[in-house]
Structure 1
Amino acid sequence: MNKSFIILCCAVLLAACSKNSKPVVQEEKIIALLEQKSTVNAEATIEADMRFWNDRLATTVDDMSSQIKLASLYNQRFQYSGRISDIHKSDSLYHVANQLQKSFSSGIYRSLAANCVTQHRFIQADRYLDTAASMGDDMYLTRLQQFDVKLELGNYKQAEVILNAFRHKNNFDYYTRASKLEDHKGSSEASISFMEKAHADIKESKKDQLLPWVKTNLADMYGHNNRISESYQLYTEVVKDHPDYYHAWKGIAWIAYSHDKNTTLAKKILLWLQEQHPVPDYDLMLSEIAAFEQNNQAKNQYLASFVDKVSNPAYGDMYNKYLFTIMSDELNNQSTAMAIAQKEINNRPTPQSYELFAWSLYKNGQVQEAVKIAESRIINKTFEPDALYHIGLLLKKSGKPKLAKQYLAEALESSFELGPVTANEIKEQLKTL
C-alpha cells in the first residue's frame, strides 16, 4: 500500500478523533437553563388537581371516580416528586376503587400493572394484565401493556407475536414497541429508526404531552450509538421547554461527565437534581464521578448514601441491579450479590438477570460454571455493553484470549455509555491480551 496513502488515512482518523473529543455541552447555556424560573410547574398543577379530588372524596367517601382520579394523580406526581410513597398510595386507591366498581372494567387492572412495572414487579404486572385481558374490553390497550411486560420478563417470542398482531403498524404505539424489540435484538440502527418515526408521528399529530418522552428516549438511544451531539441537542430542547423533565437533565449531566470530562458541571447538575427530584439514582452517578476524580472518600460516601436509601423496603426490587454491582464489585459481599442475582432471575429470567448470576459465580471463583451460564443464557442473547465486558473477562479467565479480546473490544465501542472509569478498565484488560 502506498505510504503517503497510509499517512493520509492516519491524519484523517486523528482529525476525526480530535473533532469527536471536543466538548459538546455548552456550559454557560446549561447553567442559564438551570437557573431559569419556570412559568409552568407540573407538580404544582398535579397537586392542585389532587386537592380538588380529595375535597370531593371527603364529601362522598365511596366515590369510585374520585378514587381512580386520585390514584392516577399520585402516579403522575411520582414522576416529579420522586417519592416512592406516591406509587404505594396510588396502588392503595386503585385497590379500593376496584372493590367499589359495580360493573367490571379492565382499566384499573391496567393501571395496577403500570404501577407494578414502575416497582419492577413484573410477574404481578403480567397477572393483572391477564385479568384485564379476560374481561375483553379495551383489548388494544391491554395488548400494548402485555407487550411491554412480556419483553421485561424475557418472553421475547410472545412479545413479538403480540407486536405482529397489531393491525396498524404505522403509528406511535407500534413504532415505540418495535424500537424496544429491535434494541433487544441488538439492532441499534433499526431501533433508532423506529423511534425517529415515533418522534415524527408525535410532531405531526401535535400530541405535545408525549413529545418530551419520545425526545428523551431518542436522545438516550443516540448517546448509546455514539451520536453525542444529536443526543445533547434533543436533551436541551426538552429541558428548555420542560425544565422539570429530570431524565433529560440527567442525560446532559452524563454527557458533561462521560464525553466532555467536565466533572464540575456534571456535579452541579446532579446536586441541583437531588434538590428538585430526590431519588437515589443521582448518588450513583456522583460516586462514579468521584471514582473518576480518584476521590475515594466521596465515592464511598455516595455509595453508602445510595445503599441506605434503597434499603427502604418501599423500593422493593427497583434497584436490585445497582445493589448487585455495589455488593459484588465494591464491597466484595459475594453472598449478598449472589442472592440478589437469584432474586432477579426469579423476578424475570432474562439474559441480563443471568448475566448477574454468571458474574457472581465468576467473582466467587466458579469460573467454569460462569462460562456455562454465559454460553447457554447470555452470549448472543443480550448486547448490553456491561454484559459484553463481563463476558470478555469470563472468557479471558477461562483461557480463551482471542474471544475475550473480541468481546472487550466490542464493549469498548460503548465507552460513552459505560463511562470513563469502566472504559479505562477495559483498556487495561486489552493490554494484557
Structure 2
Amino acid sequence: MKPYILLIILLAVISCQTETEFSSKSSDYEKFLSSESPKVTSKYFELWNSKIKADSLQLLSLGNVASEYARFFSENGNINYLKKAEKALTKAVEIAAVNRSGYMRALSRNYISQHRFKEALTLAESARDLGSGIRESQSLLFDIHMELGNYRLAERYLDSIRNISDFGYLIRAAKWNDHKGDLDTTIMLMEKAMQKAESANNRTLKIWSYSNIADYYGHAGRIADSYRYYLKTLELDPGNAYAKKGIAWIVFSHEKNGMEALRILNAIERTYASPDHYLLKYEIAQYSGLEEEAALYLDQYYNLVQNKAYGSMYTSHQVQFYIDETTNYQKALELAMQEVNNRATPETYSLLAYAYFNKGELQKAMEIVREHVDGKTYEPAVQLRLYEMYRTIGEKDRSVELEKAIVEARYELGPSAITKIESLARL
C-alpha cells in the first residue's frame, strides 16, 4: 500500500474516533471579546509604588510592586512590565535580610518567564541553600530542570515534594507524565488538582486549572471538554487572552473556520499583544488564502520581536521563522545553537537538527536526531520535523511510525501541518 493511501486511511479512521460533531457557538464567547483593556495601575499598586524612592530600602513595597508588575504583564503581554518586575525584585534580593530566599525564588520565576533558565537555576539553588522555604525551592528546581532538559534531576526534585494531596505536587506530576507521553495519567492528575482548587474556592488556582486542563483535553481529542473549560476560565477572568486563543485554535484547527478564528484573535489584540500572537494570525491567514493579511501579520511579528527586551524568549520562534520564511539557514543555525546552549532539550535539539537539515547537512542533522531527539519526546511539532527528515532520507519504516503519531496529534498541530504531511507522504 502506498504511504499516501495509508495516510488517508489513518485520517479517516481517527476522525471517526474524535468529536467531529462538536461545534462552537459564537454566542458562548461573544461577551468576552469586548472586554476592556486591563488596568495597569491600582490603588494597591499606587500605595506601594509611592513608598519607593531612588535609594529605597522599602523591602515590602518592592515585593508588592514587583507582584503587580508581573500581573500587568500576564494581563496585557507588555514585556516592559516583566522587566520592571525584574528590577524591583533584583533590588529586593540585594537588601533583604528577612525572607531573602522568597525574593530570590520570585526573581528566579521572573527569569523563567524571560527564558533566562541558567540564571534562574543559580538563584533557585542559592534560595535552597539558605534553608528557608525548602519545599518551595524544590518545586522551583523541578520547574527549572524540566525547562533545561535535566529530566533525571527534575524527577528527583519531584520525588522530594511528593504529596498527592498538594496542588503544587499534582500539577508538576501532571507535567512529568505529559513529558513521558502518558496523557491519561496527566489528565487524571490535573483533574485532581482542579478539584483541590475548587474545594478551596481559590480563584487564581481555578483559572490556572481550567485553562491548563482545557489544553490537555484538546491534546486528548476531547474538544468539547476543552472548549467548556476555556469558557469556564473566561467566566472567572473575562480578559484571559490564553483562553480566548484556545477557543480561536478550536475554531481554526477543529472547525477549519479561519475567518472566525481571526476575528477572535483581532479582539484579543485590542487588550493583549505578543509576538507569537501574530505568528498564529499569520498561520491562519496563510492557510485561509489571505495572502496580503498573512504578509502583514508576519511583518508585525518580525517588527515586534526585534525588541531587545525579549532577550531569548522567542529564539525558537526565530529559528523556525528563518527556516520557513527565508533562505537564511545559516542564521537559523546560529540561533538554534544559541537555544541549545540556553536549554538543551529534545525540542531545541530538534530545531538544531532541522536547521542543519535545511542547510543541506543531512548527516549532521541525523546524528543529532538519533543522539538527542528521537524517542526522547512526544511533542507533535518535534515529531513532524522528524517525519520530514526521515521521509526525505528514505527511512520509510520510521517515517510511517511517526506519521501515525502525527495524524493522531493533528488537532494540536493544526490544518497547515496536515497539509504538509500530505505533501511529504507523496514523496
TM-score band by shorter chain is over 0.9
Q: Distance in 2 between matches of 1:295 and 1:308?
A: 20
CA change 1:353–1:109 in 2 (3 A) is same
Structure 1 residue identity aligned to 2:170: Y
Match of residue 95 from structure 2: 100
Q: How far is 1:18 from its partner?
A: 9.8
Which structure has the larger Rg over C-alpha atoms? 1
Match of residue 174 from structure 2: 179
Q: Distance in 1 between matches of 2:425 and 2:229?
A: 34
Whether 1:27 aligns to 2:26 is yes
Q: 1:121 aligns with which of 101, 116, 120?
A: 116
Q: 2:419 aligns with which of 416, 420, 424?
A: 424
Q: Is the 8 A contact 1:368 1:398 kept in 2?
A: no
Match of residue 234 from structure 2: 239
Q: How far is 1:377 from its partner?
A: 0.6
Match of residue 268 from structure 1: 263
Q: Distance in 2 between matches of 1:63 and 1:224?
A: 46
CA change 1:254–1:312 in 2 (3 A) is same
Q: Distance in 1 between matches of 2:59 and 2:81?
A: 19
Q: How far is 1:16 from its partner?
A: 6.9
Match of residue 362 from structure 1: 357
Match of residue 5 from structure 2: none
Q: How far is 1:201 from its partner?
A: 1.4
Match of residue 215 from structure 1: 210
Equivalenced residues, count: 417
Structure 1 residue identity aligned to 2:115: H
Instruction: State the secondary structure of the residue aligned to 2:267.
Output: helix
Instruction: State the secondary structure of the residue aligned to 1:57.
Output: coil
Q: 1:154 aligns with which of 128, 149, 156?
A: 149
Identity %: 29
Match of residue 3 from structure 2: none
Whether 1:317 aligns to 2:316 is no
Query: What are the Cα deviations for residues 163-195 of structure 1, in whole angstroms up to 9, with x where unaligned?
Result: 112252322111100011111111111111111
Q: Distance in 2 between matches of 1:256 and 1:183?
A: 24
CA change 1:18–1:129 in 2 (3 A) is closer
Q: Is the 8 A contact 2:14 2:408 kept in 1?
A: no
Match of residue 190 from structure 1: 185
Q: How far is 1:134 from its partner?
A: 1.1
Q: Distance in 2 between matches of 1:289 and 1:167?
A: 42
Q: Is the 8 A contact 1:109 1:128 kept in 2?
A: yes
Whether 1:392 aligns to 2:384 is no
Q: How far is 1:104 from its partner?
A: 6.2
Structure 2 residue identity aligned to 1:304: D
Structure 1 residues 122-131 or 272-281, which shifts more? Answer: 272-281
Q: Distance in 2 between matches of 1:133 and 1:361?
A: 40
Q: Is the 8 A contact 2:138 2:160 kept in 1?
A: no
Q: Is the 8 A contact 2:391 2:424 kept in 1?
A: no
Query: What are the Cα deviations for residues 331-355 of structure 1, in whole angstroms up to 9, with x where unaligned?
Result: 1210111011100110001111100
Whether 1:301 aligns to 2:300 is no
Q: Distance in 1 between matches of 2:165 and 2:95?
A: 38
Q: Is the 8 A contact 1:202 1:211 kept in 2?
A: yes
CA change 1:18–1:214 in 2 (3 A) is closer
Structure 2 residue identity aligned to 1:274: E
Q: Distance in 1 between matches of 2:220 and 2:247?
A: 16
Q: Distance in 1 between matches of 2:20 and 2:162?
A: 45
Q: 1:326 aligns with which of 321, 324, 335?
A: 321
Query: What are the Cα deviations for residues 19-66 of structure 1, in whole angstroms up to 9, with x where unaligned?
Result: 83345211222223324x67xx8x438532111112233599421211
CA change 1:19–1:423 in 2 (3 A) is closer
Q: 1:206 aligns with which of 201, 205, 211?
A: 201
Match of residue 336 from structure 1: 331
Match of residue 6 from structure 2: none
CA change 1:110–1:168 in 2 (3 A) is same
Q: How does 1:339-354 map onto structure 2 within 5 Å?
A: 339-354=334-349
Match of residue 278 from structure 1: 273
Match of residue 7 from structure 1: none
Instruction: State the secondary structure of the residue aligned to 1:106.
Output: helix
Structure 1 residues 20-29 or 357-366, which shifts more? Answer: 20-29
Taking only aligned residues, the RMSD between alpha carbons, in angstroms, comes to: 2.1
Instruction: State the secondary structure of the residue aligned to 1:305.
Output: helix
CA change 1:371–1:14 in 2 (3 A) is closer
Q: Is the 8 A contact 2:19 2:221 kept in 1?
A: no
- TM-score with structure 2 setting the length: 0.93
Q: How far is 1:103 from its partner?
A: 4.2
Structure 1 residue identity aligned to 2:197: I
Structure 2 residue identity aligned to 1:240: E
CA change 1:84–1:16 in 2 (3 A) is closer
Q: Distance in 2 between matches of 1:346 and 1:19?
A: 39
Q: Distance in 1 between matches of 2:411 and 2:268?
A: 21
Instruction: Provide structure 1 residue ranges, at least 5 long, that are not aligned to the other structure.
Output: 1-9
